[in-house]
Amino acid sequence: MKKLLLITVAGLFLCSGVTRGSVPENAPDYREMTRRLKQLVKTHENYATLESIGKTGEGRDIWLVRISDPGTGDPGGKSALLVCSTINADYLVGGTAIIALTERILARAVTDTAIAGMLKKHTLYLLPRLNPDGSDYLINGAVAPYSSNRVPFDDDHDGLVDEDGPEDLDNNGLITVMRVKRWDATHVATSGDKRLLREADTQNGETPVYRLYSEGIDNDGDGTINEDGPGGVCIDRNFPHAYPYYQPGAGPYMTSEPETRAIIDFLSTRKHVAAVLVYAPFDNIIQPPEPERKRQAETPANDIRRFMRARSAPAGLDPADLSVYTKISSLYKDLVYARPPAQAVPEKPAGSLTQWAYYQYGVVSLSSPFWQIPSPAEEDKGPRGKKEKNGGSEETLLRWIESAHITNGFVPWKPYTHPELGEVEIGGFNPLVTWNPPQLPDSLIDKQLGFIVRVTDLFPELVLETFSVTREADRVYRIEAVVKNRGFFPTVLAQGATAGSVTPTRATLTGTDFTLLEGQMHQFLPPLSGSGGAVKAAWLIHAGAGTKMTLTVVSEKAGTIRHPFTLSAQE
C-alpha cells in the first residue's frame, strides 16, 4: 500500500513538475527507524545484517546495514562501499534516502540483474544517520537551524552549558528569524521581493533598517539571544584532517565526539572499504576536488614499511587520483542530473568525514547532496550576485517554494511583542527547506541507486592474468605470475599509498617443503592502475617434484587470489 502511494505521488511530480507538502517530510524518528531497519534485516536475513557501530552521546545506537550476496564469499572480504548521511542533524533527507535505498536494494537483490551483480562482487554498508541524537531533536521538537550532536557544550564560553537555546515564540513549529527596527540595524528589504532581506549597501548611501535575530529570548541575561543552545559539536567538523582547531562547532578537540570515533574505528578495522559516499550539503562529485599543483608525483615504496614520511598534510587532491574523480563526475552527471543544479556546492574543507576518508583513510571519498532544488529555467533566474542558497539566490528559493506549494517553506512576517526587544516581526525561511524536500522523488532514488551500482563497477579487481611454472633444472623451478587490475580504480589510490593506510598488495608463496633461491616470501606489488595495470612477480625455488604449493595475492581493496598448484617432474 505504502509503495503504491509513493509511486502515485512521484507520478504526479513527474507529470506536473509540482510537489506538495510541508518540510521536513515525514522523517522517521530513531525508534521508528530502528524498527524499520530491524524489520528489513529480518525479512532479508540472507543478504542483510544490522550492527551498531557505537553509541551516541545520548546512548542511541549508530545503525549500519550490511548487504551482500551470501553465496559468493565472505562479505567481509569483498570490496565494499560505505554510504553514510545525516552527519549534520538538519540534513534529514540523506538518512531518509539511505533507508529508501536499503529497502529498494533488498527488494531487488535477486530480481534486478545489475543489483544482483553488484552484491555478488561487493558489499554495501549503509549508515542512514551518523547523528541520530541531533535528528531526533529536530524531528520531535521545533524545526531549528541545527546541525550538531547533543553532547552538551558551552558555545559562548561563559561557564554555563546549553543555557540559551531558541524558543518557538510564534508557535508555528519553526525557529525562524526576528527582524527589528533598531538603531544598530544592518539589513534592508530587497528591492524586488519585500519579504526578503539583505545587508544594506551603506557604501552607496543605503540606510539599514532591520537588525536580525534568531527566534528566541535571552534566557541567561547576557545580552545575546540563542548563543548557547542544546549540544554544540558539529560532527562533520570534528574529523582529524584539516581540523578547524578552536573554531565554533569543531568541539573541544579533534575526534572528541563518540560518533566521530565510531565511524573512524569502524573503517579502520574494515579495510576492504574501497569508497565512501556521503550525502551532505557539500559536493565534490559534480565539481571534482582541485588537485594540488605543486605536488611531485612520487613512486611509493613497496616495501614492508614505508619509510617515506611527509612533513605536512597535502592541501589538495593528489593529481594522480584526479582521473577517478573525473570519471565519477561524468557518470553522476549522466545518471543523476539530466539538467545539473544551478550551481555546484563546493566541498566542505575542514574537519569533515569526506576529507578524512580521502586524506587519512586513503580511499575514493565522495560527497553530494542527495537532492537539490531543481535549477530554474534560464529566464526565471533571479538577479546575479545575491545571497546564494543551495545553488541559487533566495529569490530562486522563494519562487521554488511557491511553485512547489510547500506550505511551511516561508513564514510571512508577523508582528510580535518580544520581552527584550519590544516590537519585532517573526518570519522568513523554514530552516530545513533549503536541503530537505517535502517528498523524495521516486525516480531520484532509482537514479542514485543506478549511480551506486556504476561506482561499484569501477572498483579495482585483481585477476591472475598468466601463471607459469618452468622447470629450470632438477629440483629448480621458476614461478612467474602476472597480476592484473581489470577494474577502473587503481588497486591503491596515490593518496592511499602516501598515507600508508592501504596495505600494499602482497603476493605470497607457500608450500610444504621448499627453499627460495630468488625472490621474497612476501612480494609487495606496486599500486596497479585501473583498466589493465599489471605487474609480474617471479620466484626461483628449490623443491621436489610433486610439492604442493599455493600462490596467494592479497589486496585490501581489489580482492584475494588463491592459486594452488603442484610442481611437476616434466619440463
Partner 1 sequence: MKTFFSWSIPLVLAAVLLSAGAAAQEKPIVSLPYNHYYSHAEIGSLLRDFEKKYDRFLSLQSIGKSTLGREIWVMTVNNPDTGPEDQKAAMYIDANIHGNEVQGAEAVIYTLDYLMTNYGHIDRVTDLVDTYVFYLLPMVNPDGRMHWFDTSRFSGGGRSGMQPTDDDNDGLFDEDGYDDIDGDGYILRMRKKVENGDYIISPEDPRLMERAAPGQTGDYIMLGTEGIDNDGDGRINEDGAGGYDMNRNWPADWQPDYIQSGAGTRPFSYPETEAIGTFFLSHPNIAGVQSYHNSGGMILRGPGSKDEEPYSRSDLQVYDYIGREGEKILPFYRYYVIYEDLYTVHGGFINWTAEGLGIFSFSNELWSSRQYYNSAVPEEDRSSRGNSGQKERLFFDDHVEMGRQFIEWKPAVHPQYGNIELGGWARETGRVPPMFMLEELCHRNTMFTLFHAEQMPVVAIDTISVTSLGRGSYRVWVTIRNSKVIPTISDIAAKRHLVTPDILSLEGKSSTVTAAGFVRDIYTGRTDPVENRYERVAIPGGIPGQSAVTVQFIVSGAGRCTAAFVSSKGGKTVKTFMLQ
CB of 253 to partner 1, least distance (A): 4
**Can residue 516 be called a binding residue for partner 1 (CB under 8 A)?**
yes
Identity of the residue, 393 or 498, whose beta carbon is nearer to partner 1 in the bound complex: 498
Q: At a CB cut-off of 8 Å and minimum separation 6, what does 142 contact?
A: 166, 168, 173, 174, 175
Give the start-end residues of each E strand in 392-461.
Answer: 392-393, 410-418, 422-429
**Can residue 526 be called a binding residue for partner 1 (CB under 8 A)?**
no
Residues 317 and 297 sit within 8 Å (Cβ to Cβ): no
Among 8, 39, 253, 292, binds partner 1 (CB under 8 A): 253
**Can residue 545 be called a binding residue for partner 1 (CB under 8 A)?**
no
End-to-end CA distance of the chain: 69
CB of 300 to partner 1, least distance (A): 10
User: HSE-up of 275 (CA within 13 Å, CB side)?
Assistant: 27
Among 186, 403, 503, 529, binds partner 1 (CB under 8 A): 503
One-letter amino acid at 289 equals P
CB of 240 to partner 1, least distance (A): 6
**Can residue 520 be called a binding residue for partner 1 (CB under 8 A)?**
yes
Residues 354 and 347 sit within 8 Å (Cβ to Cβ): yes
d(CA 279, CA 440): 14
In terms of DSSP bridges, do strands 273-279 and 79-85 run parallel, antiparallel, or are they unpaired?
Answer: parallel
Among 143, 188, 452, 499, binds partner 1 (CB under 8 A): 499
CB of 520 to partner 1, least distance (A): 6
Part in contact with partner 1 (CB under 8 A); list of ranges 120-128, 179-187, 219-227, 337-345: 219-227
Residues 189 and 197 sit within 8 Å (Cβ to Cβ): yes
**Can residue 312 be called a binding residue for partner 1 (CB under 8 A)?**
yes
Among 172, 508, 529, 547, binds partner 1 (CB under 8 A): 508
Q: Where are the alpha helices (DSSP H) in 17-73?
A: 30-43
**Can residue 270 be called a binding residue for partner 1 (CB under 8 A)?**
no
Part in contact with partner 1 (CB under 8 A); list of ranges 1-9, 204-212, 302-310, 340-348: 302-310
CB of 506 to partner 1, least distance (A): 7
Part in contact with partner 1 (CB under 8 A); list of ranges 49-57, 199-207, 239-247, 334-342: 239-247
Q: At a CB cut-off of 8 Å and minimum separation 6, what does 448 contact?
A: 97, 101, 336, 370
**Can residue 315 be called a binding residue for partner 1 (CB under 8 A)?**
no
Q: Phi first, then psi: what are they for 72, rounded to 5°?
A: -125, 35
Residues 155 and 248 sit within 8 Å (Cβ to Cβ): yes
**Can residue 166 be called a binding residue for partner 1 (CB under 8 A)?**
no
Among 21, 73, 117, 240, binds partner 1 (CB under 8 A): 240
CB of 151 to partner 1, least distance (A): 12
CB of 308 to partner 1, least distance (A): 8
Name the residue among 57, 214, 95, 63 with its Cα closest to residue 143: 214
**Residue 213 vs residues 138, 188, 218, 309, 365: alpha-carbon distances, Å:** 20, 14, 11, 49, 37
From the number of C-beta atoms within 10 Å of its C-beta (0-12, 13-18, 19+), residue 87 rates as buried
Name the residue among 326, 389, 317 with its Cα closest to residue 349: 317
Residue 277 cell numbers, joined: 559516499
Part in contact with partner 1 (CB under 8 A); list of ranges 144-152, 304-312, 404-412, 432-440: 304-312
Query: CA geometry: angle at 461 spanning 460 and 466, to 5°?
Result: 135
Identity of the residue, 229 or 504, whose beta carbon is nearer to partner 1 in the bound complex: 504
Total number of residues that touch partner 1 (CB under 8 A): 45
Identity of the residue, 272 or 506, whose beta carbon is nearer to partner 1 in the bound complex: 506
One-letter amino acid at 558 equals A
Identity of the residue, 176 or 523, whose beta carbon is nearer to partner 1 in the bound complex: 523
**Can residue 154 be called a binding residue for partner 1 (CB under 8 A)?**
yes
Identity of the residue, 69 or 236, whose beta carbon is nearer to partner 1 in the bound complex: 236
**Can residue 498 be called a binding residue for partner 1 (CB under 8 A)?**
yes
CB of 494 to partner 1, least distance (A): 12
Residues that bind partner 1 (CB under 8 A): 154, 157-159, 220-223, 240-241, 245-246, 252-256, 261, 264-265, 268, 304-306, 308-313, 360, 498-501, 503-504, 506, 508, 516, 520-522, 524, 554
